[in-house]
């Protein structure tokens, strides 16, 4: 079994699917990077010294720092990832696209949908790297509330059930008017995948909240990703967010995994900002 750590953070828009964009082209993004389990403690100590991250209280966000400090940390991040050839991933979703896709449906959390895309890319990256169908991913995020954590677990459990050819189970409660009591119903769903799609023998995860040098690096990564995507969105309000064209100006664009200009992924189709327009620069 391959065990890796996925360290994530989000930037930009937050909230639920009943919200429309507040500014034209508004989007949310989550970015992350992977560390092999046998290197995690060594990397954590190295990052702490390299980024001079010494806080013992609340998390430091790069946006809380002075402009000179922000530039210093961004440059350090770029040099670090380039010198060590660290691959990274991101998932971005338009607020209006998220609203349109969930209109007349139950209220969904954007943060949860962003995680789903990042986790999917992380699993794919691990498999492409190690060719092992037994994977455990330890997800590290900064502090999140219990409601968000429950939603994280639900969406990841569903993804794993599909990826390991297992049933997705839901418990629904409905009041019985005759007995005046609540009754539980179990709904079981099974997704049949194409035989050519790889099914994992074992795919497990855990989500933990931390405030350290690892999550600070994810914060800087997410912040810079949001910045360079926003520059492109300001030019083209309907640009495909999860494409190399959208992220091409990021200094680490050559290290990003899961983006290309030859095809549009399902996320960009489902959550496109303009439902009448899909374009991809060839």
Q: Domain map of the chain by residue range? A: 2-270
The architecture CATH gives domain 2-270: 2-Layer Sandwich (3.30)
Edge-to-edge strand ranges of the sheet holding 134-141 = 88-94, 27-36, 2-12, 134-141, 202-209
pLDDT for the residue numbered 276: 53
Q: Compute the distance between CA of residue 282 and CA of residue 235 in angstroms, rounded to an integer.
A: 17
Sign of CA dihedral 153, 159, 160, 162: positive
Token pair of 37 as six digits? 């389990």
Token pair of 132 as six digits? 């092992």
Q: Compute the distance between CA of residue 280 and CA of residue 278 in angstroms, rounded to an integer.
A: 7
pTM over 0.75: yes
Q: How many CA atoms lie within 13 A of 3 on its CB side?
A: 7
Q: Compute the distance between CA of residue 278 and CA of residue 45 in angstroms, rounded to an integer.
A: 45
Q: Compute the distance between CA of residue 59 and CA of residue 47 in angstroms, rounded to an integer.
A: 15
Decide: 151 and 136 in contact? Cβ < 8 Å: no
- Classify residue 68 by burial, with Cβ atoms within 10 Å: 0-12, 13-18, 19+: exposed
Q: Compute the distance between CA of residue 47 and CA of residue 43 in angstroms, rounded to an integer.
A: 6
Where the chain has pLDDT below 70, the residues are: 53-58, 167-174, 185-198, 263, 275-282
> What torsion do the CA atoms of 80, 212, 50, 90 make, to the nearest 10 degrees?
10
pLDDT for the residue numbered 244: 94
Look at residues 2, 1, 6 and name the one whose alpha carbon lies nearest to residue 206: 6
pLDDT for the residue numbered 272: 86
pLDDT for the residue numbered 275: 59
């Amino acid at each position: 079994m391959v065990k890796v750590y996925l360290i994530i953070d989000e930037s930009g828009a937050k909230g639920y699917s009943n919200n429309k964009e507040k500014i034209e082209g508004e989007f949310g993004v989550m970015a992350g990077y992977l560390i092999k389990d046998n290197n995690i403690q060594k990397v954590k100590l190295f990052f702490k010294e390299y980024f001079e991250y010494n806080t013992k209280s609340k998390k430091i966000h790069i946006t809380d720092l002075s402009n000179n400090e922000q530039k210093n940390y961004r440059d350090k991040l770029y040099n670090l990832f380039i010198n060590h050839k660290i691959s990274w991933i991101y998932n971005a979703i338009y607020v209006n696209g998220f609203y349109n896709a969930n209109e007349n449906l139950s209220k969904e959390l954007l943060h949860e949908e962003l995680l789903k895309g990042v986790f999917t890319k992380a699993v794919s990256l691990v498999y492409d790297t190690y060719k092992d169908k037994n994977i455990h991913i330890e997800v590290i995020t900064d502090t999140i509330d219990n409601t968000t954590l429950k939603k994280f677990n639900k969406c990841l459990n569903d993804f794993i059930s599909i990826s390991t050819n297992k049933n997705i189970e839901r418990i629904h409660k409905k009041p019985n008017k005759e007995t005046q009591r609540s009754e539980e119903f179990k709904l079981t769903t099974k997704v049949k995948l194409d035989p050519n799609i790889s099914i994992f023998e074992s795919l497990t995860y855990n989500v933990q909240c931390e405030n350290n040098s690892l999550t600070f690096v994810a914060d800087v990564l997410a912040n810079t990703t949001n910045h360079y995507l926003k520059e492109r969105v300001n030019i083209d309000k309907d640009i495909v967010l999860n494409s190399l064209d959208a992220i091409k100006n990021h200094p680490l664009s050559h290290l990003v995994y899961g983006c290309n200009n030859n095809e549009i992924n399902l996320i960009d189709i489902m959550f496109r900002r303009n439902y009448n327009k899909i374009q991809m620069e060839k």
